[in-house]
Amino acid sequence: MNMRLEKQIDFIAESDDLKTVLRKTSPIHDKRKENTAEHSWQVAIAAMALAEHANEPIDIFRVVKMLLLHDFGEIDAGDTFHYSKVPNSEQCEREAQGAERIFNFLPQEQKEEWLSLWKEFEARETPDARFAAAMDRMVPMILNFRSNGGTWKEFGIVASQVIERNKHIKEGSDSLWTYALQLIEKSTAKGFFADAPS
């Protein structure tokens, strides 16, 4: 038996569970919550469509790979709501352990490459990671805006929270952040946000 192939197939089967991790966001024309696997597909598609808007030169294949695997830590750790109050460091630690476990199914040099891309995404210190992170934040904003406020409305989010938690889009793409601010402005006009506490 081909042991490398066996390991790779085990890895594919193991990562299938990403389809069972539910996020807070819903698809535009569906009431159910989306799962992390379809979200990963969508942010990769967004990167391919929007690559020209990156602030810096990027390697778009690295960005796509990063986005396809950026949430593998959630297979063990689950999704954390972007506006949750759980200390970020605890969730990060759980996700890092999860990523380590799942990539461990791969042959050694593949494990190292995938884990390294996963860490690069988390650290957001390279042009590729900054643009990938912008995609990861931009797409849920589009979904919320196109589904009458979506999770913003459902969870009583205020506009300033959305700005605060998504402003790093600007590090990856100025033009997308300009677009995001217009979305937030239109969403405020449409009453998608809760009132700011006075």
Where on the chain is the footprint of a copy of itself (CB under 8 A)?
2, 4-5, 8-9, 11-13, 15-20, 27-30, 34-35, 37-38, 40-42, 44-46, 48-50, 52-53, 60-61, 64-65, 68-69, 106, 110, 139, 142-143, 146, 175-176, 179
Q: Do residues 169 and 137 make contact, with C-beta atoms less than 8 angstroms apart? A: yes
Minimum gap (Å) between residue 88 Cβ and a copy of itself: 25
Distance separating alpha carbons of residues 64 and 60, to the nearest angstrom: 6
Distance separating alpha carbons of residues 14 and 122, to the nearest angstrom: 22
Minimum gap (Å) between residue 158 Cβ and a copy of itself: 24
What residue has token string 């819903």? 26
Minimum gap (Å) between residue 14 Cβ and a copy of itself: 9
Q: Do residues 196 and 78 make contact, with C-beta atoms less than 8 angstroms apart? A: no
Nearer to a copy of itself, 139 or 157 (CB): 139
CA 70 to chain centroid, in Å, comes to 7
Nearer to a copy of itself, 30 or 195 (CB): 30
Minimum gap (Å) between residue 4 Cβ and a copy of itself: 8
The neighbouring-strand residues paired with 75 are none
